[in-house]
Structure 1
Amino acid sequence: MKILYITPFFNYPPMDGASLRTVKLFEALYDEFDIDVITYKNNPLNNEVFHYFKKTNFYFFSSKFESPKPVSFLNRLISSTLPGFSSHNPKSIANDINRILDKNGHYNILYFATQLMGQAKLHLSSEIYSILDLYDIYSTYTKTKMKGVHYFRPYYWLFAIEAIRVRRFEKNILKNFNILLTTCNENKYAVKDLCPESRILKISNGTILPKNIKIGKGNSLLMVGNFEYSGNFEGIKWFLENVWPSLKEKTDLMLLLVGKYSNSLKKLVVNDSQIQLTGMVPKLDSYYENAGCVILPLFNDGGTKTKLIEAMAYGIPIVSTHVGAKGFESIDTIYKTDNPRKFSKYILKIFANDIKYDSLITNQKFVAKNLSWKKIGRKLKYSLKNLPIN
């Protein structure tokens, strides 16, 4: 079986949730199938990629990924493009895919690694069996923007209009695919509501399992993520403004923020001696070992958060918003609330050793057994091997 893997990024080794999923699922398919990749030139591939994946032909889009630019309220209201989707040129991507198909002949599967790549399917005439990996569902994400905005505010109505437009556009994209992949049951139900006739397969997010890690009883508060990403930045900004001040009054905890960050975040924490911005780090083991609690103050609805699974694998209790804990609502070592006072209360409860260490070990074993990328990749390989295609 021959697959063309269409992805906006191929960071190797992967350093964030989206690229981690993209690369790890690719690795699983590479072991079983003949697979080529097309990605962006302005996301340069290092020599490790060509060394590890010698069988793969790598191609590049002729267009560039464009970071979203600030848009005024009025321009956003009348724009023909939708927020988030405008950073890619789907017609150009479709032309590039056609160029590869003309050059290489037959592929059995077109695998679109994100929905933003999936836009190109609207401009493809090819009838090749197509799979779309829905790391995020934008119709659910856009609806969450309205929360906390009063209905008499202009932006409430802007977000409401955009939510309707995104839902229609997303539905139009999804109906063009043979299989849709989702990361959790909640997203599966949301997609089923959009496209009742679609075939949907749940392929969970996973984690790289740590080795020889002790269950955390550290004395620091930890959040790991790419803080240049708006969802993570807005989440930690909410935490710093609404939760952190009351915590500082009651404790001398250190807050470690591990991952890429912007000047905007640097300005928020510049005078706080209890906050450390580490930037990118080669290994996370020591940070998790020294953490007593992981926080996930996220409000952007998407798939299951890879950092939540990672924290469980390290045996760390978690305090999260409800959106951040999506897919893991029943886990007793994840404390869930959108209320700042309760968020602070749960953190203090954890550091008062009011947690179930047996449950941490149980949940750690659950992740090791069910949510390693090896296990998840095996499920994807099996599913593709049994597709009704030539």
Structure 2
Amino acid sequence: MKILIICHKLPYPPKEGGSMAMNMVIEGLINEGHDVKVFALETNKFKLSKDIPKEYKQKTKLETLYVNIGFDPLLAIRSFASNTSYHIRHFHKEEIFNRIEKVLNAETYDIIHFESIFLMSFLDRIKKLSKAKIVVRTHNVEHQIWSEIADSSSNILKRSYLKQVSNSLQKSEVEILNKADQIISISSEDTKKLKQLGVKTLIETIGFGIDVNAETDVSFSNLSIGFIGALNWIPNDEALKWFLESVWPKLSNKFPDLIIEIAGRECPKWLKNYRVQNLNVIGEVESSKDFILKHPIFIAPIKSGSGIKIKVLEALALGRLVICSSKAIEGIPAIHKKHLIIANTVSEYIDAIQFIIENPEKIQAITKNAQDLISQHFNPLKLSKKLSEIFHHLISE
């Protein structure tokens, strides 16, 4: 089967959640024996690495196009005035369509698979160029992030603006998804939400696949906390501000030897300049796996967003104890104190650290249970096979 995968950002290197999710699909479909070509945007935020292996370029037939997608204030004003989605219009550039047209004129594909909705504003024109079935993989319910951020804002003007951003994106999101032949949702929660919004296209849920590393020993005698994620992603920024301002002062006061390290790309200025006891902000790292393995505890205090938190899955698979919010485990069938520890408040974080110190044997059992959970529900080979079967069924209709 010939499959064209269209990505609104680079899938390689697979360091942050979005690129890891894209790369899992790409590698999985290739391993299933499909003829895959990847077209991806290179942007000012995600630049093409000079270190992409030659083998990867060959097997993915990777083709990229550089576009500048920096914030456009004039487009934002026009979008607000016309009640249209800035996020969709932001990617609606003729140079992008022209390259997609060139790719489609060069080859005939059975499936055109979009990683997210953001390049699907060209869909009507693409359908005139190709008879391929249209599949879209949703990493998030995109408008939900903005709705939740708006709800948490105390600034009336900001809240009003963000609500309009969310509402216009929701309208576009539903319209676009209803034009596809198949939707692949990354979590069961997102599948339910999309159906509730009025999406009629058939939806299948396929999560993120990750291998469990069974040889990752961990000691809880010297405690340290790690956080890694895209630091320019608003839910991460929001979560870290809350944690450092509300939780960390009380945690570090009660547990003075406790250390926290924060890693991730695009570190904001406020975080670079943040100075508190036992905090180390190290920015982008070469390997998220190596960073997570440095710390026995991984936190995810996320308060907004949808989809599935891939760094949480990675930490669980690596045998780390995850302390996270209820929001952070959406899409992960984990149970409090069986697979991880759920903490939504300052006192719950303090209780969690105390529990770890007092119950080392129980903590070891929790991390083992978590790895078993990942093996059962997030096996990459099983998920890739399921996706391949969906594609075969789709083109046989």
Common fold by TM > 0.5: yes
Pairwise CA distance, 1:60: 3.1
TM-score normalised over the length of structure 1: 0.88
Q: Distance in 2 between matches of 1:289 and 1:348?
A: 21
Which stretch of structure 1 is more off in the superposition, 277-286 or 311-320? 277-286
In structure 2, list runs of 5 or more residues that go unmatched.
none
Contact 2:10/2:19, CA 8 A, preserved across alignment: yes
Distance 1:265 1:351 in 2: 32
Matches within 5 A, 1:88-127: 88-89=91-92, 91-104=94-107, 106-126=108-128, 127=131
Q: How do 1:123-162 residues align onto structure 2 when only pairs under 5 Å count?
A: 123-126=125-128, 127-149=131-153, 153-162=156-165
Query: 1:263-295: CA deviations, max 9, x gaps?
Result: 5144442x3340112333344555444423211
Are 1:2 and 2:2 counterparts? yes
- One of 326, 331, 334 as aligned partner of 2:340: 334
Say which SS state the counterpart of residue 115 (structure 1) adopts.
coil
> Shift in Å at residue 99 of structure 1?
2.0
Name the CA shift for 1:388/1:284 in 2 (closer, same or farther; >3 Å): closer
In structure 1, the partner of 2:380 is: 373
Give the corresponding residue for 2:20.
20
Q: Does 1:293 align with 2:291?
A: no
Letter in 1 for 2:237: F
Q: Which segment drifts farther, 305-314 or 193-202?
A: 193-202
**Residues 109-258 of structure 1 aligned to structure 2 (within 5 Å):** 109-126=111-128, 127-149=131-153, 153-210=156-213, 212-217=215-220, 218-252=222-256, 253-258=258-263
SS at match of 1:145: helix
Amino acid at match of 1:224: I
1:9 Cα offset (Å): 2.7
Deviation at 1:202, TM superposition (A): 0.7
Identity %: 19
Structure 2 match to 1:343: 349
The CA deviation at 1:192 is: 1.2
Q: Which amino acid aligns with 1:219?
A: L
Q: Specify whether residues 49 and 112 from structure 1 end up closer, same or farther in structure 2 by C-alpha distance, changes over 3 A only.
A: farther
**Contact 2:247–2:349 under 8 Å retained in 1:** yes
CA offset at residue 256 of structure 1? 1.1
Shift of 1:367: 0.9
Match of residue 392 from structure 2: 385
From the superposition, tell whether residues 287 and 219 of structure 1 become closer, same or farther in structure 2 (CA, over 3 Å): farther
Q: Aligned partner of 1:100: which letter? A: V
Any gaps of 5 or more consecutive residues in structure 1? none
- 1:67 alignment partner, one of 62, 65, 70: 70
| TM-score (normalised: structure 2) | 0.86
Deviation at 1:91, TM superposition (A): 4.5
> Counterpart of 2:312?
308
Q: 1:365 to 1:145 in 2, by over 3 A?
A: same
Offset of 1:329 from its aligned partner?
Answer: 5.7
Taking the TM superposition and a 5 Å limit, the aligned residue runs for 1:7-86 are 7-31=7-31, 32-42=33-43, 43-44=47-48, 46=50, 48-61=52-65, 64-68=67-71, 77-78=80-81, 82-86=85-89
Distance 2:190 2:125 in 1: 26
Instruction: Indicate if the aligned counterparts of 2:321 and 2:366 stay in contact, CA closer than 8 A.
Output: no
1: CA distance between counterparts of 2:245 and 2:55?
46
Corresponding residue for 1:353?
A: 359
What amino acid is aligned across from residue 202 of structure 2 in structure 1?
A: R
Q: Which has the higher helix share?
A: 2
Query: RMSD of the TM alignment (CA)?
Result: 2.8
State the alpha-carbon separation in 2 of the partners of residues 196 and 69 from structure 1. 30
Greater displacement, 242-251 / 51-60: 51-60
- 2:299 corresponds to which letter in structure 1? I
Conservation of the 8 A alpha-carbon contact between 1:122 and 1:173: no
Query: 2:187·2:331 contact (CA, 8 Å) conserved in 1?
Result: yes
Paired amino acid for 1:177: A
